[in-house]
Every structure is written in structure tokens, then in C-alpha cells.
Structure 1
Amino acid sequence: MIRLEVLEALDGLLWFGSGEEVSKRFSISQPTVSRYCRKALDLFGLSLDRQAGEWELLGDQDLLRLEGEVHQLARGAGYRPLRLEATCWSAAALCADLAPGWMLGLSESVGVKRNLQLLKDRVVDCWLAGLPDLPASVQADLVSIQLARMPVFFTCAPGYPLLQRRYLDFRDIAPFPMLPLPAGFYPRIESSLKLIGLWNAGIPVARHRRDQWEGMAESGLMVGYGTPLSLGACGGRLCRLPLNLPLDSGYSLIVHRDLLLHPLFNGLTDFLLSRIRDLALECPEIAVVYE
């Protein structure tokens, strides 16, 4: 079995994207991160390639995935913190002062593909994923547990012309520039926007950047999208328009079935539900759906 800290370095590079961040999170020097990564890659006969700003493994990863299962068991036994990834807004609103025993990722990956792969490969142990764009189906050993539901609405900067209207429909929005989303990254949102004629494809991006997303709406250039969680986190830099998209948002925890009854997972679920219930008291549009 490969030592915990050696595979930890490779997992960290895949998870965080940079040796500098791995060094910070795991308190080891960057040269040691590089050395451990090389040792792990050599052991499993793999190599790394940089694609769209993310590190990808090349080669047969079957043995590495089996080793990942063993290391996940070690984290579950308390030798290391379990690993949680989240969306940008769920991390900001729900994951501050995270429950003990968990480490939170950067929470800035765009779309669902990257985080789902990290979960399948057991690089991360749990994913707080945003609705509606959960994968249509997940592999048999993954379980999805919905925690919250909330509307998605259009947003704009203060002073935007559309704020003068008390009522809006999609035809009123259509003449204005829409915030672009990368094609294929949010399939259900993309399908919904295409259905109402408001889809605007953007360039593919791997990580969330405010200047590429909220910043484009906050600057007064575009109509954007928001939820009660994201709007609250903007601190007044965005305003809600009186028109919802024809879909709901929300959050689900996706976890490997063999961690489903783990005390730390149950503790995480209780922690997140407590945060959601507190927010729901302030905003009735946020619905707790966990049973």
C-alpha cells in the first residue's frame, strides 16, 4: 500500500489544481509535493497532462482506484479528514466553520463533470452539488440525498432598465444581453434557457471566477441568474428581477454508498441541514426537502 501522504499529494494536485495549494492544505513543501506526485505516478505507471487548466491522469487507473478505496477507508477511520467539495455559493453560505472531521475544497469548479469524476475516483469523499444539474444517473455505488430546493430568477445591476418594470416575461428579457454560460457544463439549465430563447453560450472555463460570472452582471453589462443563496452573498451588488426561470435550484449531497452510514457523514448532513433551516427562516423560498 502506498503511504497516505504520497497519494495525498497526487489527490491534492488533482483536487486543487496547484502544488502551492496542496502545500498549504497538507502542510508539506512544494518540492515534497512534486516528489510525492512523481513517486505515485511511477508506482501506478501513470502520467499527468494539463487540459483546460486542470490536471488529468493518463494511463490505466484501475489499480489507483483500488488504492483510493483503501485510503478512503483510512480517512473514514480518522487518519485524515474526509474531503468535501461544493459549489461556490453552497460553500459560502453553508460550509463556513465546517463540521469537524471534514476538509472543504476550493469549491470553484464549473459544471458537474469535474466534481463527479473526483468523487468517482475517491479523490473526494462527498460532493455538495447544485441542482438542477446533477448528472442524469450516477454509478451504482453513489447515493444522492437532496437537502434543499429554491427558485432560480433573473438578476441585474442596480439601476438596470428592467428594474423599472413591475412585471416581466421572457420576451421583455430577450433584447438584453444575457450572462454567457459554457456550453455543455450545465445541461439542464442550458436546455431550459434554449427553450425560452435566452441561451447565450460562453467560452469554456474550468474554475469559477467572479469577473467572468457575477462581475459581468454587477458591472451593469448583462442580465444574470441567481438564487436566494447567491443573491444574499452578493451584498447588494445585484438586484432580483420579477421573473423566475422555469426550473428550481437547490442542493444535494452525493456520497459513496459505503460512507452513507458513517458517523461523520451523518454529522455533516445534520450540520448542513441546520444551516439550511436557519436560512429558510430568513427566506421562505428556501425549502428543506430532506426526509
Structure 2
Amino acid sequence: MPDSSLSSRTVLITGASSGIGLETAWQLADRGATVLLHGRTAEDARATADMLVAVKGVDANRLCTYGADFTLLDEVEAFARKVVTEHPHLDVLVNNAAMAAPERHTVTADGNEIAFQVNFLAHYLLTCLLEPALTSDPGGRVVNVSSSLHRTASIQWADPNRARRYSRLAAYAQSQLALTVFAADPRVTAVSVDPGVCDTALLPLYAHEGVSAAEGAAHVVRLCDPAVEIVNGAYYDRQERVEPAPAATEDRTVRRLNKLADLLVGRDTA
């Protein structure tokens, strides 16, 4: 049944073809939001939309699909341009797409460590490029799906690719810390949320078992609701607001990360 607070909202979800992203899309669509589904390929996104219509009974008119491989920043840019053109008023961006860092050090064609690019840099670039569409109306926001592992991380400023000393867990944690720091960027109204340990493809990083993806998604959906007031840069452990790692709210760290990210994604901010 449509929820009046969400029925007029347009929400873009990255990584919507599986796990928490898929469940978030379903819950938002079920509550009446227009949902923009991002998948690694256009075919993935369309298959997700077809499933939501056929199995979940979602109104097809509430779904739009997009494909972009986050290991290729050119595809992220094209994706952003298409969204801004087709949806010039975007209420919520859910930065959810994520991957576990591989066992072996892997660099993308853009020259970045793959988990740092997919989990953070692609979302940084996407958010910056969507800024013209992201509404400044009350309730407009970015929701970054982060992780408690950000607390174990440090950003290797001189070697963000971790070429000198690579650990898949450290690389993944660094990407989650960067995403959490980005929520404190004053250019956007944003929060981060750890949805808890969920039974998704990332589960082996955390534990042997977790709650359902639907349960984790509910914490993301709650923060998409304009009726839920947020403070820029806030961090939620499921539904409870808690303090993130100290580095995540330091103005100096936010500025330093923006400078590094602009360099790595090729943004000219001069």
C-alpha cells in the first residue's frame, strides 16, 4: 500500500539487482516511490525490474532501469548524465553498490584499486554529477550504505591503491571509511548507515551467518523517508544513530578526501 510520505519520491539505488539494494528497491516501490534501478549492466537492471513486476506485483510505471559498470568511470559519467536528463528532480540517492576486495591486488582500467573505485570513487563521482538533480527541498538526501568495518580502517593517503602493502580486508575497510567520510561533505545532505550483518554476497567478510537482506534494507528505507529527520554526516548502526570513527567527521579529512577523490576520478575543480 502506498505510503504518503514516499509516494511522490524518486529514489535512485545503485547495486539494485541483488542483496540489500534489491530489497531496498522492492520496499520503496511497495510504498509508492518511483525507483531508479541501477545494475552492473542494463540487462541486469531490466531483469530486476521484470522480477519485481512479475513476482512482487510492483507497478512497472514506478521502475526505471540503468546499467553502469563501476569499474569504468566513463560508464559512471554516462549513467549520471542520463539520469539528470531523464529525472531532473531526484529526491534520494542510495549509494549501495559494493564488492569485496579480491584476494589479489587488482587495479581498474582507470588506475584505481578496484574496491576503492567501486565502493567509493564511483559513488563520489556519481553523487557530484547528480548534484544538479538532487533536490534541495526538505527531505532530499543521499544515503550511503556503509559498514562497521570502517572503524578498523585508515586511508593510505600516499598509497590509496595499497600497491605497497595489500590486504583485501584493509582495502575493503578503507573504501567503507571513505564512503562514511563522504557523508560529511557539506555539498550534499547525506547520512551513512550500517545495515547490520546480512546474508548477502559480502557475508564472508563479516561472519558465517547474518540476518536477511530484507531486514538490513529496512534500515536503509527508513532513512529514505522524508518524515525521518537527519543531520548531515550522521552515522546509523541499523536504526540507532551512533558516532562513526573519529576520522569520519573531521573537516580536514573531508577536505583531504575530496581533493584525493577529485584527482583519482579526473575531476577538474579549478
Query: TM-score over 0.5 for the alignment?
Result: no
Q: TM-score, normalised by structure 2?
A: 0.30
Could you say which structure has the larger radius of gyration? 1
Greater length-normalized contact order (CA 8 Å, ≥ 6 residues apart):
1
| Larger strand proportion of the pair | 1
